[in-house]
């Protein structure tokens, strides 16, 4: 110890020798006498001086008694507006508004000091010396003033400059001149090239520059002085630092030097540098201290080194003074430095707080409250550790109280210094986070204190509080406070409140083991600590255990065998009556006693009355607790830490709930639930959600309440017992069936999920209804009856159109788990459909579920289950041909005979079960009702040959068991299909008869047959109704062609000399069947008679077989009747050809034997022969020509399409007209008419008109007309007719129809280049 | 000792949470893990501020709380591992190696073809291997 003191002294000697001053009386003091008391004196002096000095001092050497005159002026120009100083790293720093105090050198404050003190407290010494002079006489200056000034400025330690004050009035020229002279002389004597040391103040003259000049000069002096002093201190500090680990080292010296330096910086407004000094000081203190626990700023290795270097030496910690429980970490002056010193070292408790206070003061000056917060929080944490280490010797709960007050002090100070928007948003958020942390920490400590005095029952056993409190070890005083002697009434009262406090049962009868708020059983801990005083107690075992594990928060767990023992022994004692123990000291305290004892102890610890008051009653406790919680929550909300904020909101809600502010509680709980639900923390949600539900129930928020119940039900099943889940369900059902005014909509997506059945989607054709079966998963624990249930389908191709709702029939009972519900599906539009939404009703509750499940409701935590399934549940095909009706036969059938018309019914992947076919024949066609309609299966792949086989099978399979053919009866124009025809193509044979009154006409080479397609065309309108509900309708009109068997062409083959004409009749078969001509005869018209025979050709030709498409001919010989009867009694205008025939055809190919003829019931003999009649026109030759028409030859170059030609006919009168009635009126005029096929010819000119033709024989006229041929080929030219003249009187040349050749048009050369 | 380990999905949903305390107080550990997501969010969203290189999965100490410590680890797939320990004197290197082993176990678990990504890990093997890893680390 002595050596150490010597060291201190030596150190100071070094300092003093260097600066060559006399230590004076201090040298005479024996070194050993500089004890702690001395040190304390130093410190006391140091602190006093420091406190008395708050700004830079400039000394004023008032040589000429001017100061009273100029003092005011000088002080007016304070502080220095802009001073450029140098910081520790020799960089210029601009300091604004630096205050400077002017003190006369004769002032007691400067004069009365011992020289050595000047260096000890250098910061208070003047930084500049201003010499004030005035003189108007040069001689006086030279002789008196100058030597005096030289004396003053000879000390080069000083930074000085001279202010020459001119009192001369501007009007006094002489005086002004003198003053100028003297000032000039002064400058010559004292200023140097290097440095200007003089400036001049005209009291009466305006001189603005002077003050700037003065400021510059003062600044220069300050800067120089500052540099020098800093340099000095730094050197000293460096030397001391090097000796840091030597035994002689003394921290106090170091501290005074360091703090002086810091203070020098501080008064020079170089706060950054000052802060750095304090930081270094703290570091050094922590490094040289002897801390068994590593602290934040020092590494473990250094701590160990120090420990080795200073064996057995340990600082006193401190913390025993009154009001030490109130953190002084922001009040540097709370305690004089002398009180912090003990045994030549600083007490850690006080000194670290002092350092932090200095740092934070500078930080506030630097306007960095954020940094105060952040440093403060770390400081509190690390300091709390130090307190923990010394806890056994500190007052009861001092640590808790200190942390609490420290946090509150920090919060107070930083909040008042913080202004929003000043710093970057990031920093601001961080600041609020730190505020939140500080609030949380103080809240935690406050709860701990509250618990210790018995308010534990008022603390919500939430996860947050449990996490805080149950992991925080109990205070570990050396001895647990014992019960004061007169506290029995308090104990009784406490016990009463403890008994009254029943733990609130949760809503729905949820029973959970409450979360612990204590790290271990308080009763045991307290009794053990107390009992450790007595000897021979079992509890000594526990005191032998390391304290660290004791506080691990897990002591209560029966993991270690020792814990097991612990639990057994003290617990039994607790339950036993006090009478078991004789001595009251040994009797374990009951819980109420512990609380009362703790309360008493705390009253001793806590010096702050406000804090005491907050702990004095439950109401005050709760009030403070709420304030702290709110503070934490608000600040966290402003920071990044939203979760912290929301969770704290939940704590506020719990308090609100307790006080009946259910709406506030519900709001906050909603937020907490939303947070947990959003991130699917179901365990935590299960803790909060019942509280929310309870609020909602009390508030009569039925919708919210039901929603909460549903949410509870949809949580993981393991979180609640089945009984609890049943309670949730019964709540839902009860509310739903209660008297609610309005139906309540509710989303139960999380509870009721649904999915389509696996496998391919249901496929329907357009317009078909169906049944859709859907799997619905119920998350309800019991069966639940739904009043209704409906399902919407959403078309995938058309999202904007709301899906159609399918209703399930009547009430549905959903079992827990999987249910299959079948919906009736009305016809849907084509497209593919996915499941939309399930809606339903339970009482007044309208629920909706949007949730699709893949496997079941167990996947509610699966994100993907909320996605819409892409798999369609239903596919409705686009309208397509479902069936095809077509005519089986395209070739012609026999007209006027009963024929089978075949209709092929071809289903296209669609069942025709129960289909109804309506048959409606068009005009000219009728169904032969007397015959049934034959239906048989139809082989599509087969060709005609196959069809033939089919027909064969028809004949012997009427009663075939295969049932692929049958006879159906037409009933009211419709037939019903049989079962067997549902899916196979079938053919229907309908017996019909086409009616035609018209007689077939033969054609000759003169009048060719005009084929009229429509002539034999008949239609059958078919309408097929099919589908499940006959909803599908297919309509088709099929055409059938009917025709006569033959086309008859006649020509006169030969003209015999005897006047017999050989008439050749060609029969052209028009049907696809073999026709067998059995007989043919001719009924001749008037004017013709049969030749040799009786009008029949030679009968040996018959029967004549005419194959399909082939021709046959029969020849008749006829002759012209000589005597032509008069026109009035003509019997036959035309000849009739009669042909008796048979037909051998297949109905699958075309014309066939008529139905009635083929009827098996009719005997062969009675078979009706088929007779075909055709009219033939025979024309008598022209026997009496009057006029002749001759077609004049055409030009030799031929006709060409598009080329204009002139057609010419010559009309010549062959004989004179005499009384012929036909030419009675206009004898000299002939009516002509040009007939031409307009498709072939374009005619220009009069087509019809009169030409004059004299009555005389041989008169002639040429009729010409312009024509353009329109088509190429052999065409019939226009014909000239004479309508007014009977055909018998006109002879034509050529006599019959003839053809002309029309060439195709020439190639157009317009776009062709001729090739040569 | 390690009192709780948790795997938290990239949407901050719990995938696996296992506490190693005997008392029925798992809920408080749920709370601690859940709240520590605030810190992870903050670090991930403000990489500049935290200063740590985001290239490293290990997030370090999340909470300088008085009574327990929470460490975080962020995988490339934004899955978070959180570990709560009641040991107050823990070396970062130990925690790092713990997380590396834990990560390996996690990768094994999710590589199971029957595991659906984003769903809770229910594998018993994973649980066992986690328990083994946890019991092998006692930071004192």
pLDDT top residue among A767 and A535: A767
Residues of chain B in contact with residue A473, where contact means CB-CB under 8 angstroms, are: 67
- DSSP line for A355-401: HHHHHHHHHHHTT-HHHHHHHHHHHHHHHHHHHHHTTTTSPTTHHHH
d(CA A278, CA A259): 7
- For residue A307, name the pLDDT band (cuts at 50, 70, 90): very low
Determine the distance from the C-alpha atom of residue B126 to the mean position of all C-alpha atoms in its chain, rounded to a whole number.
Answer: 14
Q: What is the mean pLDDT of residues A878-892?
A: 82
d(CA A791, CA A821): 10
Q: What is the mean pLDDT of residues A1044-1071?
A: 81
pLDDT of residue A528: 83
Q: Are A570 and A530 in contact (CB under 8 A)?
A: no
Return the sign of the alpha-carbon dihedral for residues A327, A333, A339, A342.
Answer: positive
Inspect the interface and report whether the beta carbons of B34 and A516 lie closer than 8 Å.
no
d(CA A263, CA A332): 13
d(CA A1188, CA A1210): 8
Least confident range of A860-874, A965-979, B42-56, B72-86: A860-874
Strand A1229-1235, strand A1248-1252: pairing: antiparallel
d(CA A696, CA A704): 6
- For residue A118, name the pLDDT band (cuts at 50, 70, 90): low
d(CA A230, CA A227): 5
- Spatial CA neighbour of A430 closest among A628, A275, A645, A635: A635
For residue B38, give the chain A residue with the closest CA: A641
Least confident range of A215-229, A553-567, A1007-1021, B107-121: A553-567
Strand A1170-1176, strand A1000-1001: pairing: parallel
Q: What is the mean pLDDT of residues A122-143?
A: 86
What residues contact A278, with CB distance under 8 A and at least 6 apart? A258, A259, A262, A355, A358, A359, A362
Q: Are A49 and A264 in contact (CB under 8 A)?
A: no
- Spatial CA neighbour of A296 closest among A382, A227, A213: A382
Cα distances (angstroms) measured from residue B80 to each of A452, A682, B74: 37, 18, 5
d(CA A1162, CA A1157): 8
Overall fold of domain B1-135: Beta-Lactamase (3.30.450)
What residues contact A480, with CB distance under 8 A and at least 6 apart? A525, A526, A527, A529, A530, A594, A597
CA angle A13/A14/A17 to nearest 5° reads: 80
pLDDT of residue A479: 85
Inspect the interface and report whether the beta carbons of B30 and A552 lie closer than 8 Å.
no
pLDDT of residue A477: 87
d(CA A318, CA A325): 11
pLDDT top residue among A670 and A172: A670
End-to-end CA distance of chain B: 8
Query: Looking at CA atoms only, how far is residue B63 from chain A in angstroms?
Result: 10
Q: CA-CA-CA-CA torsion for A1001, A1005, A1007, A1008, nearest 10 degrees?
A: 70
- For residue B8, name the pLDDT band (cuts at 50, 70, 90): very high
B47 has a chain A CB within 8 A of its CB: no
Please say if the pLDDT value at position A862 is more than 90. Answer: no
Where are chain B's structural domains? 1-135
d(CA A454, CA A495): 10
Q: What is the mean pLDDT of residues A1083-1087?
A: 78
Inspect the interface and report whether the beta carbons of B42 and A641 lie closer than 8 Å.
yes
pLDDT top residue among A844 and A531: A844
pLDDT of residue A556: 37
pLDDT of residue A208: 72
Q: Which helix (H) or strand (E) holds A425?
A: helix A425-452
pLDDT digits (tens, 9 = 90+) for B12-33: 999 999 998 877 788 899 999 9
Cα distances (angstroms) measured from residue B85 to each of A556, B18, B104: 17, 12, 20
pLDDT of residue A432: 93
- For residue A377, name the pLDDT band (cuts at 50, 70, 90): very high
Please say if the pLDDT value at position A174 is more than 80. Answer: yes
Q: Chain A 520-579, CB below 8 Å of chain B: which residues?
A: 552-554, 556-559
Least confident range of A478-482, A1164-1168, B81-85: A1164-1168
Residues of chain A in contact with residue B14, where contact means CB-CB under 8 angstroms, are: 679-681
Q: What is the mean pLDDT of residues A1051-1080?
A: 82
SS3 for A419? Answer: coil
Q: What is the mean pLDDT of residues A1127-1152?
A: 76
pLDDT of residue A117: 62
d(CA A523, CA A943): 106
Backbone angles phi, psi at A918, to 5 degrees: -95, 130
- Find the radius of gyration of the CA atoms of chain B: 14
What residues contact A922, with CB distance under 8 A and at least 6 apart? A1018, A1019, A1020, A1021, A1037
Average pLDDT, chain B: 86
Q: Are A843 and A811 in contact (CB under 8 A)?
A: no
- Spatial CA neighbour of A377 closest among A303, A424, A431, A320: A431
3-state helix, strand, coil in chain B (%, to 5): 40, 20, 40
pLDDT of residue A622: 92
Q: What is the mean pLDDT of residues A532-540?
A: 44
Query: Looking at CA atoms only, how far is residue B122 from chain A in angstroms?
Result: 13
Q: Are A807 and A909 in contact (CB under 8 A)?
A: no
Backbone angles phi, psi at A814, to 5 degrees: -95, 125
pLDDT of residue A869: 55
Please say if the pLDDT value at position A114 is more than 70. Answer: no
d(CA B28, CA A891): 93
Inspect the interface and report whether the beta carbons of B119 and A643 lie closer than 8 Å.
no
Q: Are A1165 and A905 in contact (CB under 8 A)?
A: no
Least confident range of A22-36, A198-212, A608-622, B14-28: A22-36
Name the token pair of A876: 């409705």
Assess: ipTM above 0.90.
yes
Residues of chain A in contact with residue B91, where contact means CB-CB under 8 angstroms, are: none
pLDDT of residue A1132: 66
Average pLDDT, chain A: 78
pTM of the full structure: 0.70
pLDDT of residue A577: 38
Testing the interface with B: which of A387, A471, A560, A682 to mutate, by most B Cβ within 10 A?
A: A471
Inspect the interface and report whether the beta carbons of B39 and A641 lie closer than 8 Å.
yes
Query: Looking at CA atoms only, how far is residue A288 from chain B in angstroms?
Result: 22
Inspect the interface and report whether the beta carbons of B64 and A684 lie closer than 8 Å.
no
Q: What percent of chain A has pLDDT over 70?
A: 80
Q: What is the mean pLDDT of residues A610-634?
A: 92
Determine the distance from the C-alpha atom of residue B99 to the mean position of all C-alpha atoms in its chain, rounded to a whole number.
Answer: 7
pLDDT digits (tens, 9 = 90+) for A728-744: 888 888 888 887 777 88
CA angle A230/A231/A237 to nearest 5° reads: 85
Q: What is the mean pLDDT of residues A890-917?
A: 84
Residues of chain A in contact with residue B16, where contact means CB-CB under 8 angstroms, are: none
CB-nearest to B23 from A381, A556, A687 is A556
Secondary structure letter of residue A143 according to DSSP: I
Name the token pair of A526: 């307290």
Most confident segment among A122-136, A800-814, A850-864: A122-136
Please say if the pLDDT value at position A580 is more than 60. Answer: no
Inspect the interface and report whether the beta carbons of A516 and B25 lie closer than 8 Å.
yes
Inspect the interface and report whether the beta carbons of A640 and B46 lie closer than 8 Å.
yes
- Spatial CA neighbour of B38 closest among A433, A633, A649: A433
d(CA A200, CA A1270): 132
Task: Compute how many other C-beta atoms are within 10 angstroms of the C-beta atom of residue A177.
Answer: 12
Strand A160-166, strand A198-202: pairing: parallel
Residues of chain A in contact with residue B38, where contact means CB-CB under 8 angstroms, are: 640-644
Testing the interface with A: which of B25, B39, B51, B63 to mutate, by most A Cβ within 10 A?
A: B25
- For residue A1217, name the pLDDT band (cuts at 50, 70, 90): low
A680 has a chain B CB within 8 A of its CB: yes
Q: Are A476 and A393 in contact (CB under 8 A)?
A: no
Q: What is the mean pLDDT of residues A128-142?
A: 87
- Spatial CA neighbour of A214 closest among A75, A421, A53: A75
- DSSP line for A69-82: HHHHHHHHT-SEEE
Q: Chain B 55-94, CB below 8 Å of chain A: which residues?
A: 64, 66-68, 86
d(CA A1064, CA A1051): 5
CB-nearest to B27 from A377, A559, A687 is A687
d(CA A1157, CA A1167): 6
Q: What is the mean pLDDT of residues B100-128?
A: 90
pLDDT of residue A949: 43
- For residue A407, name the pLDDT band (cuts at 50, 70, 90): very high
Name the token pair of A341: 């010193």
Please say if the pLDDT value at position B83 is more than 60. Answer: yes
d(CA A1021, CA A1019): 6
For residue A639, give the chain B residue with the closest CA: B42
Q: CA-CA-CA-CA torsion for A766, A771, A773, A776, nearest 10 degrees?
A: 100
pLDDT digits (tens, 9 = 90+) for A216-262: 889 999 999 999 889 988 988 888 888 877 777 778 888 888 888 89
- For residue A803, name the pLDDT band (cuts at 50, 70, 90): low
Q: What is the mean pLDDT of residues A883-905?
A: 84
B119 has a chain A CB within 8 A of its CB: yes
Inspect the interface and report whether the beta carbons of B66 and A441 lie closer than 8 Å.
yes
Please say if the pLDDT value at position A197 is more than 50. Answer: yes
pLDDT digits (tens, 9 = 90+) for A1179-1197: 766 666 778 888 888 877 7
pLDDT of residue A298: 35
CB pairs under 8 A between A and B: 110
Cα distances (angstroms) measured from residue A136 to each of A87, A106, A149, A188, A207: 42, 25, 16, 16, 19
pLDDT of residue A694: 92
Burial A984-994 (b: 16+ CB within 10 A, else e): ebbbbbbbbbb
B116 has a chain A CB within 8 A of its CB: yes
Please say if the pLDDT value at position A623 is more than 90. Answer: yes
Return the sign of the alpha-carbon dihedral for residues A1301, A1304, A1309, A1312.
Answer: negative
Task: Compute how many other C-beta atoms are within 10 angstroms of the C-beta atom of residue A632.
Answer: 27
Burial, A919: exposed, middle or buried (Cβ in 10 Å; 0-12, 13-18, 19+)? buried
Q: Are A193 and A62 in contact (CB under 8 A)?
A: no
Q: Which residue has 């299909």 as its token pair?
A: A977
pLDDT digits (tens, 9 = 90+) for A3-52: 444 444 444 444 443 333 333 333 333 333 344 456 667 778 788 888 88
């Amino acid at each position: 110890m002595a050596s150490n003191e010597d060291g201190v002294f030596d150190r100071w000697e070094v300092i003093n020798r260097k600066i060559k001053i006399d230590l004076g009386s201090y040298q005479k003091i024996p070194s050993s006498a500089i004890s702690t008391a001395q040190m304390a004196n130093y410190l006391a002096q140091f602190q006093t001086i420091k406190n008395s000095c708050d700004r830079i001092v400039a000394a004023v050497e008032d040589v000429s008694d001017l100061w009273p005159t100029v003092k005011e002026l000088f002080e007016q120009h304070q502080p220095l507006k802009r001073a450029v100083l140098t910081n520790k790293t020799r960089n210029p720093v601009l300091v604004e508004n630096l205050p400077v105090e002017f003190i006369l050198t004769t002032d007691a404050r400067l004069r009365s000091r011992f020289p050595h003190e000047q260096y000890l407290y250098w910061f208070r010494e003047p930084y500049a010396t201003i010499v004030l002079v005035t003189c108007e006489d040069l001689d006086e200056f030279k002789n008196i003033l100058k030597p005096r000034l030289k004396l003053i400025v000879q000390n080069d330690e000083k930074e000085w400059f001279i202010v020459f004050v001119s009192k001369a009035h501007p009007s006094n020229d002489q005086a002004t001149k003198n003053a100028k002279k003297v000032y000039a002389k002064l400058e010559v004597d004292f200023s140097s090239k290097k440095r200007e040391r003089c400036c001049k103040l005209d009291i009466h003259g305006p001189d603005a520059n002077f003050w700037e000049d003065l400021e510059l000069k003062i600044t220069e002096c300050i800067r120089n002085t500052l540099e020098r002093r800093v340099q000095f201190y730094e050197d000293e500090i460096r030397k001391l630092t090097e000796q840091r680990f030597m035994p002689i080292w003394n921290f106090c010296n170091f501290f005074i030097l360091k703090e002086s330096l810091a203070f020098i910086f501080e008064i020079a407004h170089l706060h950054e540098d000052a802060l750095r000094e304090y930081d270094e000081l703290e570091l050094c203190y922590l490094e040289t201290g002897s801390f068994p626990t590593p602290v934040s700023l020092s590494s473990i290795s250094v701590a160990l080194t120090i420990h080795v270097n200073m064996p057995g030496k340990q600082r006193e910690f401190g913390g025993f003074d009154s009001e030490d429980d109130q953190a002084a970490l922001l009040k540097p002056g709370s305690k004089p430095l002398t009180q912090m010193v003990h045994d030549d070292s600083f007490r850690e408790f006080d000194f670290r707080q002092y350092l932090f206070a200095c740092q934070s003061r500078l930080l506030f000056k630097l306007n960095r409250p954020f940094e105060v917060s952040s440093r403060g929080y770390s400081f509190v944490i690390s300091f709390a550790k130090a307190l923990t280490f010394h806890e056994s010797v500190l007052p009861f709960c001092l640590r808790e109280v200190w942390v609490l007050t420290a946090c509150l002090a920090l919060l107070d100070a930083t909040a008042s210094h913080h202004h929003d928007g000043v710093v970057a948003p990031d920093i601001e958020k961080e600041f609020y986070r730190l505020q939140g942390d500080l609030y949380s920490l103080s809240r935690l400590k406050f709860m701990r204190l509250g618990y210790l005095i018995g308010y534990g029952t008022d603390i919500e056993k939430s996860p947050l509080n449990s996490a805080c409190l149950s992991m925080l070890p109990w205070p570990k005083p050396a001895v647990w406070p014992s019960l004061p002697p007169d506290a029995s009434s308090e104990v009784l009262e406490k016990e009463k409140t403890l008994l009254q406090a029943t733990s609130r049962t949760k809503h729905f009868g949820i029973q959970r083991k409450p979360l612990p708020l204590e790290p271990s059983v308080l009763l045991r801990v307290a009794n053990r600590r107390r009992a450790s005083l007595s000897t021979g107690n079992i509890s000594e075992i526990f005191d032998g255990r390391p304290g660290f594990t004791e506080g691990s928060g897990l002591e209560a767990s029966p993991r270690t065998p020792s814990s097991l023992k612990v639990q057994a022994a003290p617990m039994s004692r607790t339950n036993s009556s006090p009478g078991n123990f004789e001595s009251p000291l040994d009797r374990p305290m009951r819980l109420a006693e512990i609380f009362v004892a703790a309360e008493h102890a705390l009253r001793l610890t806590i010096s702050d009355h406000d804090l005491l008051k907050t702990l004095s009653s439950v109401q005050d406790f709760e009030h403070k607790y709420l304030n702290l919680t709110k503070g934490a929550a608000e600040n966290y909300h402003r920071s990044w830490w939203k979760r912290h904020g929301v969770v704290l909101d939940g704590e506020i809600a719990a308090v609100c709930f307790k006080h009946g502010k259910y709406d506030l509680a519900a709001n906050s709980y909603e937020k907490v639930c939303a947070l947990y639900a959003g991130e699917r923390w179901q365990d935590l949600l299960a803790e909060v959600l019942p509280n929310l539900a309870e609020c909602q129930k009390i508030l009569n928020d039925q919708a919210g309440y039901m929603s909460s119940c549903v949410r509870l039900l949809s949580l993981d099943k393991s979180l609640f017992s089945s009984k609890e889940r049943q309670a949730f369900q019964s709540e839902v059902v009860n509310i739903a069936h209660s008297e609610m005014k309005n139906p309540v909509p509710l989303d139960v997506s999380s509870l009721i999920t649904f999915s389509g059945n696996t496998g391919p989607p249901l496929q329907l054709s357009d317009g078909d209804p169906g049944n859709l079966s859907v799997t619905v998963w119920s998350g309800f624990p019991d069966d639940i009856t739904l009043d209704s249930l409906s399902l919407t389908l959403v078309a995938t191709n058309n999202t904007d159109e709301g899906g159609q709702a399918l209703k399930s029939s009547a009430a549905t009972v959903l079992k827990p788990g999987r249910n299959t519900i079948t919906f009736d599906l009305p016809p849907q539009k084509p497209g593919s459909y996915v499941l939309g939404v399930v809606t339903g009703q339970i009482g007044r509750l309208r629920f909706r579920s949007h949730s699709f499940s893949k496997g079941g409701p167990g996947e509610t935590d699966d994100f993907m289950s909320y996605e819409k399934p892409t798999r369609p549940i239903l596919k409705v095909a686009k309208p397509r041909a479902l069936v095809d009706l077509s005519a089986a036969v395209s070739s012609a059938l026999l007209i006027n005979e009963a024929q089978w018309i075949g209709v092929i019914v071809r289903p296209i992947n669609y069942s025709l079960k129960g289909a109804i076919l309506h048959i409606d024949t068009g005009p000219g066609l009728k169904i032969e009702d007397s015959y049934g309609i034959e239906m048989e299966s139809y082989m599509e792949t087969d060709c005609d040959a196959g069809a033939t086989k089919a027909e064969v099978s028809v004949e012997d399979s009427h009663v075939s068991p295969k049932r692929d053919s049958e006879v159906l009866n037409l009933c009211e124009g419709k037939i019903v299909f049989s079962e067997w025809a549902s899916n196979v193509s079938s053919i229907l044979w309908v017996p019909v008869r086409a009616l035609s009154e018209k007689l077939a006409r033969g054609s000759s080479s003169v009048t060719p047959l005009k084929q009229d397609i429509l002539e034999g065309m008949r239609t059958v309108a078919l309408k097929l109704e099919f589908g499940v509900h006959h909803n599908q309708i297919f309509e088709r009109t099929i055409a059938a062609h009917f025709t006569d068997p033959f086309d008859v062409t006649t020509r006169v083959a030969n003209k015999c000399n005897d006047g017999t004409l050989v008439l050749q009749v060609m029969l052209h078969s028009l049907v696809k069947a073999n026709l067998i001509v059995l007989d043919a005869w001719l009924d001749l018209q008037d004017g013709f008679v049969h030749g040799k025979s009786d009008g029949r050709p030679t009968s040996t030709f018959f029967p004549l077989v005419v194959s399909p498409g082939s021709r046959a001919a029969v020849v008749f010989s006829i002759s012209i009747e000589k005597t032509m009867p008069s026109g009035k009694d003509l019997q036959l205008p035309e000849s009739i050809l009669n042909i008796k025939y048979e037909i051998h055809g297949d109905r699958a190919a075309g014309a066939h034997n008529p139905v009635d003829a083929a009827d098996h019931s009719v005997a062969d003999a009675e078979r009706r022969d088929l007779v075909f009649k055709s009219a033939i026109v025979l024309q008598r030759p022209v026997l009496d020509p009057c006029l002749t028409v001759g077609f004049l030859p055409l030009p030799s170059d031929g006709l060409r399409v598009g080329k204009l030609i002139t057609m010419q006919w010559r009309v010549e009168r062959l004989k004179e007209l005499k009384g012929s009635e036909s030419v009675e009126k206009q004898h000299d005029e002939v009516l002509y008419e040009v007939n031409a096929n307009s498709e072939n010819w374009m005619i220009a000119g009069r087509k019809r008109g009169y030409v004059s033709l004299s009555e005389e024989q041989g008169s002639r006229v040429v009729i010409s007309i312009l024509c353009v041929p329109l088509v190429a080929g052999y065409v019939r030219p226009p014909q000239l007719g004479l309508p007014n003249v009977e055909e018998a009187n006109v002879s034509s040349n050529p006599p019959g129809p003839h053809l002309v050749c029309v060439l195709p048009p020439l190639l157009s050369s317009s776009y062709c280049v001729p090739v040569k | 000792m390690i009192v709780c380990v948790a795997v938290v999905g990239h949407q901050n949903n719990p995938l696996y949470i296992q506490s190693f305390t005997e008392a029925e107080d798992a809920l408080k550990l749920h709370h601690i893990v859940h709240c520590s997501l605030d810190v992870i969010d903050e670090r991930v969203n403000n990489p500049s501020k935290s200063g740590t290189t985001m290239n490293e999965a290990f997030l370090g100490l999340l909470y300088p709380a008085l009574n327990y410590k929470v460490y975080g680890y962020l995988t490339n797939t934004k899955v978070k591992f959180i570990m709560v320990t009641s040991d107050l004197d823990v070396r970062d290197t130990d925690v790092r190696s713990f997380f590396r082993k834990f990560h390996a176990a996690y990768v094994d678990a999710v590589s199971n073809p029957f595991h659906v990504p984003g769903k809770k890990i229910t594998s018993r093997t994973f649980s066992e291997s986690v328990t083994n890893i946890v019991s092998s680390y006692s930071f004192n």
